[in-house]
Amino acid sequence: MAFNMVGTEKVVAGLDRVTAGTGAILAVTPLALVIVQFSVVLMVYVFGRGSVQLQESLQYINALMFLGGAGYTALKDDHVRVDLIYSRLSPRRRTWVNFVGTCLLLVPFLAMFWWASLPYVLASWSIGEGSVEASGLPFVYILKSTLLLFALTLSINTLADLLRFGQRLFSGTPS
């Protein structure tokens, strides 16, 4: 299998820029989460008033932060890895482990995730699903859309990784 080195590198760099961009945009979500949570506590314990909408917004921010940031986390290689032998492998063997693991585990997972979540989210959008709470946020369909954001950002990073690993393994040049 031959890889066009320059073309592949440009595609990978472009995909990585998209993933890094989502990470940069979502970097404000932890601060937003803290500010909103502080506001909820302040309202309840100082002013004696609660807000269902403000409390529900914490779920939206949390979902955006974790689901939207999945691709960025994978790009930075900060995801959870059970390392029994990986750290002792040569760089080429690590690349093989990453390539095979991505092909056999992550790609099928993403395919099933897209297959299961897309109809779920579309159904929510079709009815304009809102909160079950009377005074809650009327945007549950947007909350559920973070599932697709997860799938999209992780799929973009997965494609970049497959190209990156393939280039290292099949280009004929050393890792």
Per-residue pLDDT tens for 13-71? 999 999 999 999 999 999 999 999 999 999 999 999 988 999 999 999 999 999 999 99
pLDDT of residue 106: 96
User: pTM for the complete prediction?
Assistant: 0.86
Three-class secondary structure of residue 76 per DSSP: coil
How many C-beta neighbours within 10 Å does residue 89 have?
13
The answer to whether residue 98 scores a pLDDT higher than 70 is: yes
Cα angle: 86, vertex 91, 93; to 5 degrees = 60
Which pair of structure tokens corresponds to residue 148?
Answer: 């697709």
Pairwise CA distance, residues 46 & 52, whole Å: 17
Three-class secondary structure of residue 169 per DSSP: helix
Pairwise CA distance, residues 146 & 5, whole Å: 34
Average pLDDT over residues 127-136: 92
How many C-beta neighbours within 10 Å does residue 170 have?
12
Going from the C-alpha of 113 to that of each of 8, 118, 134, the distances in angstroms are 27, 8, 31
27-61 burial code (b ≥16 CB/10 A, e <16): eebeebbeebbeebeeeeeeeeeeeeeebbbeebb
Residues listed for the chain: 175
Q: Could you tell me if 69 and 23 are in contact, meaning their C-beta atoms sit under 8 angstroms apart?
A: yes
What is the pLDDT of the chain when averaged over all its residues? Answer: 91
Residue with tokens 């999945």: 70
